[in-house]
Structure 1
Amino acid sequence: MADITEFIVIVLAVFAFLLLLGGVGIYLLVRLGKKAAVKAKQASNRIATHVNAMGTGVAAEVERFRLDLRREVSLTRQAVEQAQRDGWGLGDLPRLLADLQAQADVHDGQLGMYAQQHRMSQFVDHVTLDRLREHQAKLTAMCARIRADLMSDQVRHSATGIADLTSRTDLEIEARRHAPDPLDEIDDLYRRSLEDRNDRP
C-alpha cells in the first residue's frame, strides 16, 4: 500500500509540475500574442496611412503630412542617437527631442483624426486645416534645425581633425625627404660659376 501511495504522490507531483509549466507557457504565449497584436495594429495603421496618402485631396494631403512628420522625427532621433554614441556633448537636447517627439505624436493623432473626419464628411474645416499646416511646419522646422546644428558640429569637429591630419602629413613628408648633400650643392655652385665664365665673351 505504501508503494502505491508513493507512486501516486510522484505521479501527482509530476502532473502538478507539468501543469505549472503549461500554465507558464500559456501565460507567455498570451503576453506574446498581445504584443504581436499591438505591433500588428501599429503596422496596419502605418500601412493604412501610406495607402491613404497616395490619393488626392485634403485627406491624402493630411496623411502625407503624417508621413513627413514621422520621417522628420525619425531622422532627428537617429541623428541625436548617433551623436550620443559618438560622445558629443548634447546638453538638454535628448530631453528636448523627447518632448518634440511627444508633441509630434499628439500632432500625428490630430492629423489622423482630421483625415478620418474628412474622409467621412465632405465639409472641410479650413481654419483647423491651416492651423494643422502651421503646426506641421513648425515641428518639421524644429527637427531640421536640430539636425542642421548637429551636422554643423560634426563638420566643425571633422575640420579640426582634417587640419590636424594635414599638418601631421606635411611634417611626415618633410621628415621623409632626403636632405641635400652640402658637397653636391657646393659642386653645383662651382659648376655654374665655371659655366658663367665660359659664357662670357
Structure 2
Amino acid sequence: MAEISEFLVVILVILAFLLLLGGVGLYLLIKLGKKAAVKARQATTRLTTHVNAMGTGDAAEVERLRLDLRREVSLTRQAIDHAQRQGWGLGDLPRLMADLTVQADVHDGQLGMYAQQRRMSSFVDHVTLDRLREHQAKLTAMCARIRADLLGDQVHHTSTGIADLTSRTDLEIEARRRPPDPLDQIDELYRRTMEERKDLP
C-alpha cells in the first residue's frame, strides 16, 4: 500500500508541475497575443492611412497631412535620441519633445476624425480644415526648428573636432620631418657664394 501511495504522490507532483508549466505557457501566450493584437491594430491603422492618402480630395489630403506629421515627429525624435546618445546637453528639449509628441498625437486624431467624416459625408467644413492645416504647419515647423538647431550644434561640434584634428595633424607632420643637416646647409651656403663670385665680372 505504501508503494502505491508513493507512486500516486510522484504522479500527482508530475501532474502539478505540468499544470504549472501549462499555466505559465498559457499566460505567456495570452500576453504575447495581446501585444500582437495591439501591434496589428497599429499596423492596420497605418496601412489604412497610407491607402487612403493615395486618393484624391480633402480626405486624402488630410491623410497625407497625417503621414507628414508622423514623419516629422519621428525624424525629430530620432535626432533627439541621437543627441542624447552622444551625450550632448539638451536642456529641456526631451521634455519639450514629449509634449510635442502628445500634441501631435492629438492633432493626428483630429485629422483622422476629419478624414473619416469627410469620406462619409458630402458636407465640407472648410473652416475646420483650414484650422487643421494651420496646426499642422505649426507642429511641423516646430519639429523642423528643433532638428535644425540640433544639426547646427552637431556641425559646430564637428567643426571644433576637425580644427583640433587639423592642428594635431600639422604638429605630427612637423615632428616627423627630419631636421636639416648643418653640413648640408654649410655646403649650400658655400655653393651659393661660389656662384655669386662667378657671376661677378
TM-score normalized with structure 1 length: 0.94
Distance 2:151 2:145 in 1: 10
Question: Who is 2:56 aligned against?
Answer: 56
* Residue 114 to residue 190, structure 1, CA distance change in 2 (3 Å): same
Question: Who is 1:170 aligned against?
Answer: 170
Distance 1:21 1:183 in 2: 90
Is there any run of 5+ residues in structure 2 with no aligned partner, and where? Answer: none
Does 141-150 or 173-182 show the bigger shift? Answer: 173-182
* 1:106 counterpart = 2:106: yes
Question: Who is 1:86 aligned against?
Answer: 86
* Residue 5 to residue 178, structure 1, CA distance change in 2 (3 Å): closer
* Residue 124 to residue 185, structure 1, CA distance change in 2 (3 Å): same
Distance 1:136 1:190 in 2: 81
Q: Where in structure 2 are the equivalents of 1:61-76 lying within 5 Å?
A: 61-76=61-76
Once the two structures are superposed, residues 138-175 of structure 1 have per-residue CA deviations (whole angstroms, 9 ceiling, x without a partner) of: 11111111111111111111111111111111111111
Question: Who is 2:137 aligned against?
Answer: 137
Distance 2:177 2:10 in 1: 88
Distance 1:30 1:120 in 2: 36
Shift, 1:41, TM fit: 0.7
Distance 1:179 1:2 in 2: 99
**RMSD (Å) for aligned C-alpha atoms:** 1.4
* Residue 9 to residue 192, structure 1, CA distance change in 2 (3 Å): closer
Distance 2:12 2:181 in 1: 99
Question: Who is 1:19 aligned against?
Answer: 19
Q: Where in structure 2 are the equivalents of 1:118-133 lying within 5 Å?
A: 118-133=118-133
Identity across matched positions, percent? 80
Distance 2:24 2:114 in 1: 44
* Residue 197 to residue 2, structure 1, CA distance change in 2 (3 Å): closer
**Runs of 4 or more above 4 Å deviation:** none
TM-score normalized with structure 2 length: 0.94
Q: Where in structure 2 are the equivalents of 1:42-53 lying within 5 Å?
A: 42-53=42-53
* Residue 197 to residue 3, structure 1, CA distance change in 2 (3 Å): closer
* 1:3 counterpart = 2:18: no
AA partner of residue 23 (structure 2)? G
Distance 2:14 2:192 in 1: 108
Distance 1:46 1:141 in 2: 23
Shift, 1:113, TM fit: 0.6
Is there any run of 5+ residues in structure 1 with no aligned partner, and where? Answer: none
* Residue 195 to residue 119, structure 1, CA distance change in 2 (3 Å): same
Q: How many residues get paired?
A: 201
Shift, 1:186, TM fit: 2.5
* Residue 196 to residue 126, structure 1, CA distance change in 2 (3 Å): same
Shift, 1:189, TM fit: 2.0
* 1:146 counterpart = 2:146: yes
Once the two structures are superposed, residues 98-133 of structure 1 have per-residue CA deviations (whole angstroms, 9 ceiling, x without a partner) of: 111111111111111110110001211111111111
* Residue 198 to residue 38, structure 1, CA distance change in 2 (3 Å): same
AA partner of residue 191 (structure 1)? R
Shift, 1:199, TM fit: 1.7
AA partner of residue 102 (structure 1)? V
